[in-house]
Chain A
Amino acid sequence: MRIINASERRQLVSQSYFQHIEQVLREYFGDGQYSEEKVRGGQTGARKVIFLASGKKYFVKIGEKVERENNIYQSPKFSNKPFLLSPILIPNISNEVLVLPFYDGETLDDFILRKNGQWGEVYTCIRSILQQAAKHLWLDTLTKNETEIAGGVEKYMTDRLDDLSQNLQIQIGDSVIGFADLINMKIVLNSNDERISLPSINEMVDDVVQLFQRFNPPYLSAITGDFQPPNIILGPDGFKVVDLSNGDELGDLAMDIGKLFNFANRFYRVAYIRDGKAPGNSGKAVVSLKAGALEIDTEYSNDPVLQVLMSDLEEEFTRTIADSIADYYLPDRAKLYKFVINVITIKRHIGRRGLSDLLLANIADSYIEIMRKVRSI
């Protein structure tokens, strides 16, 4: 048994089906063909390609989770949103194919990299994106919530951890241990001259689920489910959020917010290495086994100004939303979701060279944030 990675999953969309879709598109547009241009991003098995017709570009996505994404696009809660693209509805095409007008721009993560040091511009840009998303999506689709979300969040995490526990063996130094054992080991994080003892990942999960029980949201709303810089494109017509494959008509807006700030706080290190954008100093983490515990040594620190600006923006923004809808635990939940996101993303990223250690460091770091900004302050 082994994990099939994203590029292998993409191969599962058969070549003949891929060509068949090209023919359908050609018939619809009158001419055209797939472009050789590479499309970056996305960690699902869906195959993504640019289709060129009459001098115009279209983004085509085929395969895993696309049917779900099409359904999200067609939901009234997601229609007429200025920052969402409108799919082109092509008759007789499978719901597993999504065709969008190609939005030519710069992803938000590229913008942040390019503006390195000009943090005022980064701050203003992200704030504006958050404000628009709040106005047009999260607050525009509020529904009173009568359910407990903690169970769902727990399942979201444990399903993935259980999957990995069945299959995965991890080599740490000279030792090989099962993933199930790894997530039961206590953790020590050495970061910026601090040595912090932490519970095991399984214990952290239990703790976070308990906190979710306490902080249940009074409202649910439409969320994109993957509101992070690589999925946000800045272009001539403002910003557009792409990839609604994890979208939800009744989700917790704290999840979208948490995802964005988790990227700004720590996940960018994983994403930049993954996407080949890593600047030389983006840092690394090294996991070792010491005295029966996982010891994680990190060799990075965030820019102190950007760190405070993002913290300022996160707290100010979540407080403003929390105040406006009397959801006073929203700032807490946004932090809980950061941890959740770091746990669930293991499945997609573990095994990639250089990422596994960073992923564990991110889980530990996001749990420390909960200890210091939720549990006690």
Chain B
Amino acid sequence: MNIEGVPPQPDEPEISLNRLAVEKEGDYVERIRLQAEGIIDQCLSEYGVVNHRVVEAHKTRKSVFGCVEVEGEKRFFKISKPSRILQELQGYKIAAEYPHERIVDHFFLDDYGLYLQDYCEEISTSEGQMQSQINRILQQIDTQDVQKVLQGTGRLFDTMGSIFQRHFTKMPLILHGQNDRFFYDRVKPGGRIDQLYAGRMFNFPSLSESITFEDLSKLTFVVNGEIMSLTLGELIKKARHDLSPEHNRFFVLSQGDPTETNMALCGKFFDFETGGYNDLIQDIAIFSYYNYSGGHYFIPKYFNTETLSDMRSRDRQEYDSLSEFSSGVTVSCELDRKNQKLVVNGQFPYPKLKQEIYTQFRDSVVRPVTRLLPAGCEQELVGRLQSAFLLRAIGVKDIAGMDEKDLILSLILANHFAQPDPGSGGLIDFLDQKMVDIHS
């Protein structure tokens, strides 16, 4: 929201917290722990609480989090810039209907915000985390618990579905959604897509070619033998239009970033930074794309390395075994400069478990809410969903910084979801056609 007279808040850079930006050497984890301890002490001592001890601390680029014992009771804690903590508390307050661990207190110092949350034993172990458990099954580390996972996901989607329906805006609204920052804010002129890619070289070592983003955007893609109707540049232009918050849109009350890392099999939701009223289409795109390619492929592969260095060996094993799935992913690429074509071929398997989870999501979340849509609007929504998928494919991770295989795969996926829907024009049909294996 812009208030005239208030300097606009710059798009927050992926910053390190000043005092917490320590070298990743030596007793790194201990230094993070001690710094977190100091900040927590500053907050709690004002209220006479002196008996506390940080027992676990992790650092990402944006925050430090972990476990602190306060007067003998375990709490999850998160320290970040005050504005970021405020943003996260905001989401918890608006989307409070979603089951979540209670935030028991919050504090603001000049440079930091801190919140303390009830500690969830289940999420603290990899068995309780949805993504972790799914990946363990996919990597055949655990084979027994498929039904347990499906029960957990089923419960989560029942919750989502009923909250979606209860607060669904049958009359479309012109409104900025909380997770527009993942979509329109990234694709708008000057947004993250421009910042990441303008003037950038996309390297294809197998072709001994480097292509600027601008040139890449003009090429016609031929994906697995099919000529794409729009170039990447045209898709981005379409997405700028489709995802604009100035359109009438249908909103749902959502956690805002429904990925496998933000849900626990015990039925709880986490990370409400974009919780609130969000465009239905964008929530569908976030879940579906993450389910399709994120949780078991891109995210483990391009996970924040700082966090990886701090991972327990058991989690490392899970992420390292990604290579097995990765071996089923194949891509190739040819550049036809004369005809301005990029010919890409690839296959991307869609694991059966992920497919079953998608089916649950479709039936418990998407189908009931599409029944509430006014007649005749689904075709337009499919077009917007395609644009939302584009942003998931090229706007989450810097695809130019990926290895060539994943750069090509990202382009294949962007086109896979962008290709017009030959079905009935409905959202469910579209999703069913796209959430399948890709064969070369």
Residues of chain A having any CB pair with chain B under 8 Å = 117-120, 123-124, 127, 131-132, 134-136, 139-140, 304-305, 308-309, 311-312, 315-317, 319-324, 326, 328-329, 331, 372-373, 376-377
Contact = CB atoms under 8 A, between A and B. Distances in A.
Given A304-B167, A320-B3, A377 B103 contact: yes
Interface stretch (B49-57, B90-98, B219-227): B90-98
B6 A312 contact: no
A320 B1 contact: yes
Contacts of B104: 376
Contact of A119 (B87, B105, B110, B171): B171
B169 to A, nearest CB: 6
Contacts of A119: 169, 171, 173
A159 to B, nearest CB: 29
A131 B86 contact: no
B93 A377 contact: yes
Contacts of A377: 89, 92-93, 96, 102-103, 106
Interface of B: 1-7, 9, 82-83, 85-87, 89-90, 92-94, 96, 102-106, 108, 110, 113, 166-169, 171-175, 178, 253, 276-277
The listed residue with most B CB atoms (<10 A of its CB), out of A135, A316, A328, is A328
Contacts of A311: 93-94
B6 to A, nearest CB: 4
B171 A127 contact: no
B4 to A, nearest CB: 5
Nearest to B100: A377
A120 B93 contact: no
Instruction: Please indicate which of the listed interface residues A119, A136, A308 has the most CB atoms of chain B within 10 Å of its own CB.
Output: A308
Nearest to A323: B83
A312 B87 contact: no
Question: Which 3 pairs across A and B sit closest by C-beta, in order of nearness?
Answer: A120-B173, A328-B108, A377-B103
Contact of A308 (B1, B89, B110, B277): B277
Nearest to B102: A376
A320 B174 contact: no
A134 B93 contact: no
A134 B6 contact: yes
Contacts of A372: 96
Interface centre among A127, A135, A316, A329 (most CB of B within 10 A): A316
A323 B6 CA distance: 10
Contacts of A120: 169, 171-175
Contacts of B86: 319, 322-323, 328, 331
Nearest to B88: A377
B178 to A, nearest CB: 8
B108 A123 contact: no
